[in-house]
Structure 1
Amino acid sequence: MSNHKETTTRTLVVALLICLVCSVLVAGAAVALKPIQQANRLLDKQRSILAIAGLSQPGMSGDEIRALYDKRIVARVVDLRTGQFSDEQDPETFDPLAAAKDSRLSSALPDAQDIASINRREHYSTVYLIEREGQLDTLILPVRGYGLWSTMYGFMALKGDLNTVTGFGFYQHGETPGMGGEVDNPRWVAQWPGKKVFDEQQQVAVRVVKGGVNPQSPDAIHQVDALAGATLTSNGVTHLLEFWLGENGFGPFITNLRAGEA
């Protein structure tokens, strides 16, 4: 009986030691790999920004992406509460998505305002500028909102007139492949350049329409065909654009920037 107890105790001790060693190895690997993971996430974001701006080419290496980004893109932080540029955060390190989860750096959205279903909106966000001869050529805005199954994360690029779309797309989502997942289909994405996001009253007019765009309609300049069989995902795209281009998103900033007061 005594030998049996000693064997059981020895087995438990060995198992515990193995668990502790494995935990230390896993924790060590996580710490060691964290800088690499952060660098890869930053590279993916830079790649997406350049692609939306139409600046990158397929097959570019990581070093080429970083060099092109540093040469052409200027990141600036915007205070969404005031619609003004802000120096309160470092645009190269600030993470708006992490800030949205921090009650000190974000605000809960009332249901009536939360048309994109993001729950909280960060106080600060990062925008990306492309300048040419000292003038704004392209403004790239981060956007996100809920589709059918997931939050869709993307960027919208506007010309210097701050109304004409030059590029739009999502870099992360969990929508249904072949249906809502077609938000990253190049053929659907190709419909966006040239569309106008605001109407003559400067209200957000851009939207995804079910049944296809009527090219004879005066509203066609604001519209893109809905995704076949993906009504909720299509509606989600419309809602997230209404939010981020509207008064609770980047709307005040765009107004100030257009007036030279940002």
Structure 2
Amino acid sequence: MQQSNAYIITFSVILTVVLGLLLSGTSQVLGPMQKEAIALDQKKQILGAVISGDEIAAMTPDEVNAYYGSHIASTVVDMNGKEIAGATAEGVDVAKNYKKPVEERQFPVYIFHEEGNVASVKSYIFPLYGAGLWDAIWGYLALGTDMNTVGGITLAHAGETPGLGARITEPGVQSRYEGKEIFNESGELVAIQMQKGEGKDYSGNPHQVDGMSGATITGNGVNNMLINYLGYYKAYIESKKSSTAVASL
């Protein structure tokens, strides 16, 4: 039997309202869980710059949260290295900040310290963000208390090519940065440059690491990301270098 237009319209409206309510309810239920999962993943990436991935993989979510809470402090600074009152590192979306003019951005700093002892700093962790071949890339770089030597790095991507640029997430690639230095002998910020090609030994060069075959553009993106973000943090880094030098006198 052919239905009237009024019936069809009424049925469509009711169906739309019901589906909308169902989607809204699902979003409210799953929303907090999704936020918790995102926060947990960020904590793992931050910790990955200072402890091994195997250690993190062996932890339960509760253990990750507990370890993070007892070993990580944080602050937020501006381009001049000054702390921003009232800002929290967890409240800064680095990806959204990336779209703002540099002078308007907020820059989180994570401080890795001895368990339960904020004053006993072991390293400083700096978020990174940039562009790869196809989409965004990001990561976290840890510097020792000399504010020069790299303790570790984690790198991630939104859509780099599997087996090529996506290799930036591999521990073997990330470990190449350990022990490298971001300042040269003249005190200039040079960061660390991933080289084109793969298979060469750069152990004698403190500012270069081996590249990834077939992923030059992604490697260049990582290079640009490092020099840019270390430049944004340079004032803060140098202020910490100065305070460390004074404390050692």
Report the TM-score when normalising by structure 2.
Answer: 0.86
Q: 1:38 to 1:260 in 2, by over 3 A?
A: same
Report how far residue 52 of structure 1 moved. 1.4
Alignment partner of 1:175 out of 160, 164, 167: 160
Q: 1-side partners of 2:91 and 2:195: how far apart?
A: 37
Instruction: Write the letter of the residue equivalent to 1:9.
Output: A
Query: Does 2:109 align with 1:123?
Result: no
Equivalenced residues, count: 237
- 1:18 aligned onto 2:4: no
Residue of structure 1 equivalent to 2:247: none
Give CA deviations for 1:73-110 in whole Å, capped at 9, x if unaligned: 10111122x21222231234333333445xxxx42x6x
**Deviating more after overlay: 123-132 vs 43-52:** 123-132
Matched to 1:260, the amino acid is S
**Matches for 1:1-262 after TM superposition, within 5 Å:** 7-54=4-51, 56-80=55-79, 82-101=80-99, 106-107=100-101, 123-132=105-114, 134-205=119-190, 206-212=192-198, 213-215=200-202, 220-246=205-231, 249-260=232-243
Cα separation, 1, equivalents of 2:141 and 2:228: 13
Task: Output the CA distance in 2 between the equivalents of 1:17 and 1:233.
Answer: 49
Post-superposition offset of 1:62: 0.4
Partner Cα distance (1:157, 1:27) in 2 = 40
RMSD (CA atoms) = 2.2
Aligned to 1:115: none
Give secondary structure in 1 for the equivalent of 2:56.
coil
CA contact 2:154–2:174 (8 Å) conserved in 1: yes
Give CA deviations for 1:158-189 in whole Å, capped at 9, x if unaligned.
11111111111213431000011110112111
SS in 2 for 1:221: coil
Further displaced range: 6-15 or 21-30: 6-15
Unaligned runs of 5+ in 2: 245-249
TM-score computed with the length of structure 1 as normaliser: 0.82
Seen in structure 2, the aligned counterparts of structure 1 residues 169 and 127 have a Cα distance that, compared at 3 Å, is same
**Superposed CA offset, 1:231-255 (max 9, x none):** 1101111111110111xx1111111
Letter in 1 for 2:38: R
**Per the alignment, do residues 91 and 216 of structure 1 end up closer, same or farther by CA in structure 2, a change over 3 Å counting?**
closer
Q: Secondary structure at the match of 1:191?
A: helix
| Between structures 1 and 2, the one with greater helix share | 2
More deviation, 130-139/20-29: 130-139
Q: C-alpha displacement at 1:17, in angstroms?
A: 0.8
Number of the residue aligned with 1:113:
none
Q: Distance in 2 between matches of 1:32 and 1:239?
A: 40
Query: Please, which runs of 5 or more residues in structure 1 have no aligned partner?
Result: 110-120
CA–CA distance in 2 between the matches of 1:179 and 1:97? 23
Residue deviations 1:181-225 (CA, integer Å, cap 9, x gap): 1101121112111111111223232111124555486xx111111
